[in-house]
Structure formats: C-alpha cells, structure tokens
C-alpha cells in the first residue's frame, strides 16, 4: 500500500505534490519521490521519512506545473533510492501502488531484449514497457499505457507522465484505489481523498479497469478497450482528519474494514492452483533446505503469538511436522534445544520486535534455518533471516493489531500448504481445495463485516461497563479467544481473559455469575459438540452468554445463548479469518463507548523495541 499524488495545472506543483504526500504518509514511509515535467523529467527521490525528501527539495528545488509523487510501502525490493518511485526511463516516469504478478516473466523478456534494470521493483517494468510502446510511430501516452496494461497481470494504481506530452497525466486502476480531483483549471489524482482536500472537494473515484487521461481542463475516462465510461462526481464534506481515516472515526475501525483488501494483497501472486501449491519465489528456502526440516518452531509476541498458535495447527495437520509455539521473550531467556534440522519461523508485524529478533538470532546461531513473517520489507528481522514471507497488509496505524493478525494467519496457512506439498503430508486434492477456499475468503470477510458491524456495536453498548469478560474456544478457536480478550483489554481497559474451553472447569468456571459476559467461539467443526457442553455449563452458572458460530449451527446455540452471531461456513482451517472479525468489532465499539483513546491506548506502543 503506497501513496500516489499527481497534479497538472498552472501552478508550480512541487509544493502541492509534497503536501499531498504528507497527507498520504500513513500509506507508506520507507521512501518517497517526485517527478516533474519541465522540458524534461526532473526527478528527486530519498529513502526514509518524507522529511528527507522535503530537505532534498529545499537543497535542490525543481520547477514545473505537472508532475507525480509517491510515498512507498515496499513490496518488491528493499527500501533504497534506486527502488524508490517514481521510476524514470528516459522521458517517461511512473508511480505505482500494487503488485504486478507477472513481473518476473516481463523482466526476463525485457532483459533478453538488452534492457538494463536499475532497481529490484516490479514498477520499473511498467516504465520500460510504456517507453517502448511510446516509441512506436504515432503512439500517444494514453495508447502506450493501454498497451502496457494489457501485458500486465495484477493490481495497480498507476500514474504516468512523459515530457513528450508535458501537460498530461495518464492514470489507471485495478484493485488499488485511485481518485481524481477536479479543481479550477487544474486536476489532481491521488490514491486517497486526503491528498486532494486542500485543493478540491469534487472527486471521482475510478473503478477497476478504468484508464483516464487528465489535463488541466478535466478528465477523459475509458476502459482498457478504449470505450468511454462515465463515473459519478462526489462532493466531499469530511474534514481532512476524517478523510485521512477514510471517513472512519478511528484508524482501528478503518483497519478492521481493510482486512479483505489486505488479505487479497497477501494472497496475490502466491497461490498456484494448477500445481496445488504456493509459489516459492518469495520464501527463500530451496529444495535441499526444505528436505532437511524435521521440526518447526514459531516464535512471536502478543497478537503475533496468537497467529502462531493458529499456525501450529496448520503445520501439524497439513505439513505433518512437529511444531512448537514459543513466546519469543521466554525462548531467548532459557536454553532451548534448537539447531540443525529445525525451521524457526519468527513472526513480527514490524520486523523490529526486540524479543522476537533476539530469539530468532539465537536460533540461527545454533544452526536453525530462520524464516521471517513480517509486514515490513527490509526490517531488521527480514534482513537477518534466511528467508522472508511478507504479509502485504500495508501500514497499520492503530496500536491494536487487526489486519496484521489476519494476514499473518493467511501467511502461515500458505506456508503450511507449501511445506505440506514438499513433505508429502498434504495431498494435491486437499491443497487445491484449501487454495480455492482462500480465494473466496476476502469476500466472506467483507460479508461478515457488513453483516455484523451494527449488531456488534449494539452488543458493545450493553457490555461497555462490564468489569470482566471471559472468552472461550477449542482448537483453532482457542487462539481466537485469546486474541478477542487481548483486543478488548488493549483498547477498552476491561479485564478480559481467553481460555481453552476444555479447561473451563479447571478454574475459570468459578468466576462465572450473572454479571459476567462469556463469549464462546464455536464454529461448526469437530470440536462443536464439546464446546456446546461448555456453553451449557456456563449457562447453568447464569453467565451472560454470547456465541460466535457459523450459520449452519446458529439454531443449536440460540436456545442456550443470550446472543448468537454467525459467519458463513468455510473450511474449518479458515474459520479464524472470519470468527476473529466480530471480536475485533466488539472490542472497538466497547472502547469507543467508554471514550478511551482507541488508536493509542495508554501504556502501549505499536512496536516493542525494548525488553
């Protein structure tokens, strides 16, 4: 997820582009750059925070009234000046948000033609392809971009300029957001509305497959076949602060609703249904390394630890590998038996969590192979690991992690499918079925969020003043109970505890009375009947019972529960991706009702870099 800004009009645009990038920095902050057309393409790029680009422009300003800018969240290629956008090939400059799935194939074609790549990014490929197409006799920039897009597979929001048409920007969208802003004798484009509000509140949101030519006088929109299309104009009434949050009250709520998109980005380009496996080009572990794996360790802290608990079930049931889940802070402070033959998967949203980093380093020193699951390309954990498997959740601003949890779960499922196919523990038919269900999961998440948003807000109003809340689950629902309890305590400051439902009689049942909400996660799986028995036991103690289940089991739970909320049935291994969503919503709405600082809860930090 990156930030794109473009401007064409009569005003000097460097400051306009920079201001737009500041409003988009939450979308990416590992590098940034501008390309402005003024007789030629003038380029400025820098690594790190946007302030570095601002300082560079102060030292070496650039002039012109048409240009594009970008703030990057790295997906292909580590953060560096060479990998920063815009990418320029002679008189063409391109910025891009998304992932080109066939970038390696296109790179090989270009290199076979003698093209020399200057970066590790997939975006540079588009710059070369547009430049080649533009060199064909009589080709316009619009035609060159259209021809390029017909060769590309994947997601993109794209903005392209050339010094051959100095007052034109071509933009295109597929599965990544792009918005046009209509000013007075000026036009803007951006990947999100906040970047436009200083200049206009009249916008058009492009749809997938749209291609637009924008000039100072307006925009012409068409599809990839050149047929004109009309999109409705909107007038935005939001404040700039609300716009930055996409109209949501808090970043946490926005990020909860971003999860279907985050999952799509994490899956994109990795599923290989024809071979019933997962593409291995990002993992960094070769066949010989895989053959030597005898045992798996999952190391993590906090929310990532809960995703690891889900991952353990995946590893053991699909890859048939013995799997230990360890709190990284405990693992690094004892004498763990780890070494050659062990695959250590270290999980951290930021890739900078100190305990996880140190635990992974200890394992590597003792001869284990280390694979990082992280959301930040080029982070410390990614750099020290033998292989990396990135989630593509995009920046997560709220301290309480939501979309990073579900993308970690998806990453662990994909890795388990991949390992299972190599170990022989997973049949092709079972792998194919799981891959098919994974492709459907983002839409099921959208449906769940749409169906349960208002009901969970209403439930939260009833229980906002609870003193304690107990969460129960079995199997894959046990980590979801832990995660539900963690989210609630993080943002609402209510004491909450997650427990394995089978352990309820070993202590927690003593806490249950008519004042205590008991939230039970009970999808229709092979644990269902036993979980139902636990629910009956809680009911007998007059607990206030809330059940999260699948729609095919809703009737079974209705007679016992005060409230029942259901998600659509899916493969049992994918149920955590759905059942966690109402718990995230519940935690958010309880915190909002209590008036706590939802995005920055007291005493907590987004990245824990101290012991």
Non-local CB neighbours of 520 within 8 Å, separated by 6+ positions: 471, 472, 473, 501, 531, 534, 535, 538, 545, 546, 547, 548, 561
CB 171 within 8 A of CB 190: no
d(CA 91, CA 162): 5
Give burial (CB, 10 Å; 0-12/13-18/19+) of 454.
exposed
Non-local CB neighbours of 347 within 8 Å, separated by 6+ positions: 298, 299, 300, 304, 305, 307, 308, 311, 356, 372, 373, 374, 408, 412
Catalytic residue among 539, 554, 594, 606: 606
d(CA 75, CA 78): 8
Say whether 173 is catalytic: no
Say whether 404 is catalytic: no
Give burial (CB, 10 Å; 0-12/13-18/19+) of 185.
exposed
DSSP string across 310-328: HHHHHIIIII--EEEEEEH
Dihedral angle computed from the Cα positions of residues 266, 373, 525 and 485, in that order, rounded to the nearest 10 degrees: -110
- Count Cβ atoms below 10 Å from residue 97 Cβ, excluding itself: 31
Sign of CA dihedral 285, 290, 292, 293: positive
Catalytic residue among 2, 189, 213, 404: 2
CB 417 within 8 A of CB 431: yes
206 forms bridges with which residues in the sheet? Answer: none
CB 315 within 8 A of CB 344: no
- Sheet with 169-174: strands ordered across: 87-89, 92-97, 156-162, 169-174, 211-215, 218-222
Sign of CA dihedral 442, 443, 448, 451: positive
Angle at 525 between CA 519 and CA 526, to 5 degrees: 115
d(CA 171, CA 149): 11
Q: Which of 507, 354, 476 is nearest to 413 (CA)?
A: 476
- Pair of tokens at residue 288: 């010989």
d(CA 16, CA 557): 57
Terminal-to-terminal C-alpha distance of the chain: 30
Phi-psi region of 366 (alpha: psi -120 to 50; beta: other; left: phi over 0): alpha
d(CA 140, CA 170): 10
DSSP string across 544-568: EEEEEEEGGGHHHHHTT-SEEEEE-
Sign of CA dihedral 241, 243, 248, 250: negative
- Pair of tokens at residue 362: 């200890």
> Which residues does the annotation mark as catalytic?
2, 606
């Amino acid at each position: 997820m990156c930030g794109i800004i473009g401007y064409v009009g009569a005003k000097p645009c460097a400051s306009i582009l920079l201001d737009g990038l500041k409003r988009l920095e939450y979308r990416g902050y590992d590098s940034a750059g501008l390309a402005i057309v003024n007789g030629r393409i003038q380029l400025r790029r820098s690594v790190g925070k946007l302030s570095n680009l601002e300082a560079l422009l102060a030292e070496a300003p650039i002039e012109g009234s048409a240009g594009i800018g970008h703030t990057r969240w790295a997906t292909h290629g580590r953060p560096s000046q060479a990998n920063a956008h815009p990418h320029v090939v002679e008189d063409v400059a391109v910025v891009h948000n998304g992932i080109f799935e066939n970038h390696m194939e296109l790179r090989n074609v270009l290199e076979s033609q003698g093209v020399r790549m200057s970066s590790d990014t997939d975006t540079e490929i588009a710059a070369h392809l547009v430049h080649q197409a533009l060199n064909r006799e009589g080709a316009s920039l619009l035609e060159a971009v259209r021809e390029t897009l017909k060769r590309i597979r994947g997601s993109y929001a794209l903005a392209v300029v050339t010094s051959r048409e100095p007052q034109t920007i071509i933009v295109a969208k597929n599965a990544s957001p792009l918005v046009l802003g209509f000013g007075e004798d000026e036009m803007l484009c951006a990947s999100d509305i906040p970047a436009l509000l200083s200049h206009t509140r009249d916008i058009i949101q492009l749809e997938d497959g749209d291609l637009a030519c924008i000039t100072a006088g307006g925009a012409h929109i068409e599809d990839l076949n050149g047929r004109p299309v009309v999109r409705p104009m909107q007038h935005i009434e939001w404040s700039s602060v609300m716009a930055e949050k996409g109209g949501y009250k808090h970043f946490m709520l926005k990020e909860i609703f971003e999860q279907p998109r985050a999952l799509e980005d994490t899956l994109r380009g990795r599923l290989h249904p024809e071979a019933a496996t997962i593409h291995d080009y990002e993992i960094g572990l070769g066949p010989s390394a895989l053959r030597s794996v005898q045992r798996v360790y999952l190391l993590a802290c906090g929310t990532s630890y809960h995703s690891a608990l889900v991952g353990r079930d995946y590893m053991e049931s699909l890859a048939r590998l013995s799997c230990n889940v360890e709190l990284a802070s405990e693992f690094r402070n004892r004498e763990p038996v780890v070494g050659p033959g062990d695959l250590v998967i270290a999980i951290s949203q930021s890739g900078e969590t100190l305990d996880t980093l140190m635990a992974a380093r200890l394992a590597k020193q003792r001869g284990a192979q280390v694979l990082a699951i992280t959301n930040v390309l080029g982070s410390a954990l990614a750099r020290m690991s033998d292989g990396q498997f990135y989630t593509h959740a995009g920046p997560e601003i709220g301290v309480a992690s939501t979309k990073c949890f579900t993308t970690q779960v998806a990453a662990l499922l994909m890795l388990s499918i991949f390992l299972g196919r190599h170990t022989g523990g997973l049949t092709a038919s079972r792998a194919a079925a799981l891959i098919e269900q994974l492709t459907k999961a983002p839409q099921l998440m959208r449906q769940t969020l749409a169906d349960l948003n208002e009901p969970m807000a209403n439930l939260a109003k009833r229980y906002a003043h609870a003193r304690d809340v107990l969460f129960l689950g079995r199997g894959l629902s046990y980590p979801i109970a832990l995660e539900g309890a963690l989210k609630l305590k993080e943002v609402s400051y209510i004491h909450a505890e997650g427990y394995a439902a089978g352990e309820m009689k070993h202590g927690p049942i003593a806490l249950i009375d008519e004042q205590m909400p008991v939230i039970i996660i009970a999808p229709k799986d092979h644990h269902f009947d036993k979980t139902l028995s636990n629910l009956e036991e809680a009911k007998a103690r007059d607990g206030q019972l809330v059940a999260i289940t699948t729609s095919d089991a809703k009737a079974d739970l209705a007679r016992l529960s005060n409230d029942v909320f259901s998600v659509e049935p899916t493969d049992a291994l994918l149920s955590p991706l759905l059942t966690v969503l109402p718990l995230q919503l519940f935690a958010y709405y309880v915190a909002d009702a209590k008036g706590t600082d939802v995005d920055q809860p007291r005493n907590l930090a987004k990245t824990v870099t101290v012991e």
